[in-house]
Amino acid sequence: MDSDLYRDFLSRFASGVTVVTTRDGNGEPWGFTASSFASLSADPQYIVVCLARSAECFDAFDGCGEFVVNILHAGQQDTAMAFATRGSDKFGTTETTDTPGGSPVVTGSLGSLTCTRAHTIDGGDHVILIGEAKDAVVAEGEPMLYYNRGFRALA
């Protein structure tokens, strides 16, 4: 299939926007913006998120024991863009707190799910991270959506 047509097709699927965060073995924070996030299983409580092998943060997530999925609200476009931009100062412009395990949590997100890394699966140019949910925090607000290559909000 033509890769442009493939991307056009995928852009028609509206999804929420998350920022996934962790710390490497040296304590440095890392993160990326992901719209490829989904629940996988209720028992055990597994989620999946996909990470490009070419991402700057790939090694940090490949070796992490814990990571956090932060669901962004409609007003957090700057945060989504910072974590989606290669070479940006992601944590210099985003306020965070830490889980007891040390992983960064994006302040003001609609929810954060702390996970232990349970499995990884080869996904071509991506790796599929499977996390087991350990703790969650939820808040009220309007979600940010990603549709047709742009951020959107509910009408």
pLDDT tens track for 13-43: 999 999 999 999 999 999 999 999 999 999 9
Over pLDDT 70: what percentage of the chain? 100
Question: What's residue 155's pLDDT?
Answer: 81
Over pLDDT 90: what percentage of the chain? 97
All structural domains of the chain: 3-153 (2.30.110.10)
Question: What's residue 67's pLDDT?
Answer: 98
pLDDT tens track for 101-146: 999 999 999 999 999 999 999 999 999 999 999 999 999 999 999 9
What is the per-residue DSSP string for the chain? --HHHHHHHHHTS-EE-EEEEEE-TTS-EEEEEES-EEEEEETTEEEEEEEETTSTTHHHHHT-SEEEEEEPBTT-HHHHHHHHSTT--TTTSS-EEE-TTS-EEETT-SEEEEEEEEEEEEETTEEEEEEEEEEEEE--SPBEEEETTEEEE--
Computed over every residue of the chain, the mean pLDDT equals 96
